[in-house]
Structures are given as C-alpha cells and as structure tokens.
Structure 1
Amino acid sequence: MMKKTLTPRTTLAPGIAKVLKRLHYPLEVMLLCVRWYVAYSLSLRNLEEMLAERDIGVDHSTVHRWVIKLVPLFEQTFRKHKRPVGKSWRVDETYIKVKGSWKYLYRAVDKTGKTIDFLFRAKRDKAAARRFFEKAIGQNGSPETVTIDKSGSNLAALNAVNAEREMPIKVRQTKYLNNIVEQDHRAIKRRTRPMLGLKDFNCARVILSGIELMHMIKKGQLQCTGNTPLSAAQQFYSLVS
C-alpha cells in the first residue's frame, strides 16, 4: 500500500543515493516516515507505534536519524525548483523552544502568502536579522518593499543592507500589514507542538527546514514538470529522483 503513493523512478539523485547506502531500510519506508514527520502533528514515538501496527520494526531514534540525514538533501533539490516569489515581503520572527530556551525562527512571506525564506538563529539581534535578509535576497532576489513590525533589530539590519545597495529597499514598519506572516507562523508552531521540546539546536534547524519545505509544497511552490497534477505527497517524493 505504501508503494502506490510513491512516484515511479529509475534513478536517485547522487547525494540521496549516497546517503541511502548507509541507512539500510527500504526507500519507501524511509520516505513515508520523513514525510509524515514533517507534514503532520506526530511525534517520533507516534511514528514508531504506527509502523509497528504495520509490522515494520523501526525505532523512533532511527526515524529521527532519517529526518536529519535526508531533509537537507530534499531542501537542496526543492530550492532548485522553487517557484518565484513576489517583490513585497512581510518579515517576522517566531519563537521555538530548544532544550528549555527560546530560539528564533526568522520567516518571510510575500503579499500572497507564499514563503520566501526562513532562518533559525540562536539570538534575536541585528546580526541574526541581517544574516536572514542576506540569505533571503541571495536565494530569491531583491524585494521592492519589506514590511516589518516595530523591531529595532530588523530595522537596523535592513538599514545596514540598504547602505551597501545602489537601489535601497523600501522599508515599512506597519504591524497590521504583517498579519499574513504572523498567521503563517501558526502552521509551523502547530507542527512543532507535539515534539515535546527540541533537544539540539542543529537538529532543530534541520527539522524546521523540513517542516517549512512541506509547508511550501502544500502552498504549491514547487515547479512540477508534466501535465498531470501531483499531490503534495507525490511532490515530496519527486525530490528524491
């Protein structure tokens, strides 16, 4: 039943094939577990129990290892085929708890709600905000307008970015215009809630990128070839080939 949900393929991307050689489980099982984990409000132990009901013996720590190994490769492929985003950005950060301390997920969406970029940082300051803006611009091109809330660090970071540009980015500090990104945070927070506290910053960064990746796929941000529409699951599996 699992295999029917996967997109047929004859070859694997070289990076994925190299990693899979060391994981020693059927590809369909690994892909299913990784997708379920980043797509739905499930804990690793939930997945272990669900697989056991299907007579598949996989420890929850093994599923975690699959996520950490495979998600960065999926994200790399996704970014090569991500649809262009708009030039009017809404930027905000949300809080994610790691090992009992709050860390910061910087996020941006365009005015239609499409995800532009994200970056997980340990601190909420000018340096973190500037790193996010530089990454987002490098990946998606320059915006015409960036809307932020009253955050002083975000404003300082944008001013620093603009100081090095011939054509400055227009900056707006209007909280109500940022409702769209604040609402979009909810999908990410809803997924992290059952994780019962992330224990490691680098692992959290990878897991969050997987959640963001699946969120973008559900928004229709992956450019697909062919005339037949693919489900979100099929689009996720297509990143392997």
Structure 2
Amino acid sequence: MAERGLSLAHTTILRWVKRYTPEFVKRWNRLATTAGRSWRIDETYVKIRGKWAYLYRAVDRAGKTIDFRLSVRRDVAAAKAFFAKAIRTQGRAPETITLDGYAASHRAVREMKAGGLLSGRTKLRSSKYLNNLIEQDHRHIKSRVNVMLGFKRFRNAAITLSGIELMHRIRKDQFDLTRVHLKDTTSPSVWMAVLSAR
C-alpha cells in the first residue's frame, strides 16, 4: 500500500480480512480437490489475548492440507469436532490416521469408531517420525502468524487463519482450475476469474 501512496491503519486491513476472507474461502472451496486418505494430524498453538488456543491441522501423506480447526480447548471433544469437520470437508473418512502421543486424540478416534463415525477398519498409528510432515507444515502457518500484532478476538483469529490456510492451499496447488475454463491458469487474471466464478 505504501508503494501506491496509500496510508492505511491495521484496523482497515483487519476489516478487509473479516469481510472478504469467508467469501474467498467459499468460492475457492468449490474448486478444491480431494486429499489422500492417509492423514497426519497434530495441533499447534496460537495466542489470543494472551492465552493459548489450539489449532488442529491435518495433511495427507503428500502434504496436501485436509482441514484445520481453531479450538479454545485441547481435549477429546475438540479432537472429535476436528475429525468430524475434516471428514465432512473431504466427503469421506480416512483409511489411516497418524497421531502423536497425545492421549485425548487417540481416545477421540476410539470413541468415533465405537460410535460408527469412523470405520472399524480405519488404522490408527502413533508415530512422531511420520508426523514430521505435519510438524513441518505448521511452520508455514506459524511464520505468517508470528509477524502479526497478535489476535484479540477468537472470531478474528479463526477468520484470519482460514485466509492463511487458503493461501497455503493455493500455493500447494490443491484446486482444479480447469473447472473455471481458463486458457492460461498461470496468469494473474486467474485470481479474478476464480473469485468472480458463480
């Protein structure tokens, strides 16, 4: 903005993020491709008004983002809510779930299997080595969050993180842009075409 001679307050940018991010996410999600069925799941931490909140995230074995969910708590209910959201987003349950050693996440998977929300054939693995993929993926999100002035409200944090996650998915080429009928998907005009697609 400074290059264009515009002086903007941080609150103006925040208002833009709050207003436009949900619409961008909705429109881009129409073009999303399905991720793989071997999921690596982990949580990372985000500070909101001086208190830790928990960002549940999942990627497949190729590093494609499956889903994310910001939660005030890190417990069985939060893990189950994340799993349910991820399954809804992907339209199918995973064949394999790889977790770290946190007991609440393992219990959530067991309870979802018992309740029929996950197939009894879903394999559950606990491996710090296999979860290096998701740990590395957290870095891209945290690097964007760390340079910000901090979050004051949970809702603003959730919206901002959804925009950061969307940009990360775009970089990872997780969208089928052939469905927008563009000749040159590498052109910057692809952004405008995708955002204006109905």
TM-score by length of 1: 0.75
Matching residue of 1:153: 104
1:76-108: per-residue Cα shift (whole Å, max 9, x none)? 112221111101000000001111111000000
Q: Quick one: structure 1 residues 192 and 174, their matched pair in 2 at CA, closer, same or farther if it must change by over 3 Å?
A: same
Matching residue of 2:37: 87
Matches within 5 A, 1:162-201: 162-165=113-116, 167-168=119-120, 169-201=122-154
Unaligned regions of 5+ residues in structure 1, if any? Answer: 1-50
- How many residues get paired? 190
Cα displacement (A) at 1:236: 4.4
Equivalent pair of 2:28/2:195 in contact (CA under 8 Å): no
Matching residue of 2:195: 240
Does 1:220 pair with 2:173? yes
Distance (whole Å) between structure 1 residues aligned to residue 53 and residue 191 of structure 2: 27
C-alpha RMSD over aligned residues? 1.6
1:35-78: per-residue Cα shift (whole Å, max 9, x none)? xxxxxxxxxxxxxxxx2441234332111101011101111112
Larger radius of gyration: 1
SS of structure 1 residue aligned to 2:195:
coil
Distance (whole Å) between structure 1 residues aligned to residue 10 and residue 190 of structure 2: 25
Distance (whole Å) between structure 1 residues aligned to residue 77 and residue 36 of structure 2: 25
SS of structure 2 residue aligned to 1:195:
coil
Matching residue of 2:186: 230
Equivalent pair of 1:74/1:239 in contact (CA under 8 Å): no
Matches within 5 A, 1:3-42: none
Distance (whole Å) between structure 2 residues aligned to residue 73 and residue 128 of structure 1: 25
Cα displacement (A) at 1:160: 1.4
Matching residue of 1:135: 85
Unaligned regions of 5+ residues in structure 2, if any? Answer: none
TM-score by length of 2: 0.90
Stretch deviating more after TM superposition (190-199 or 54-63): 54-63
- What letter corresponds to residue 97 of structure 1 in structure 2? K
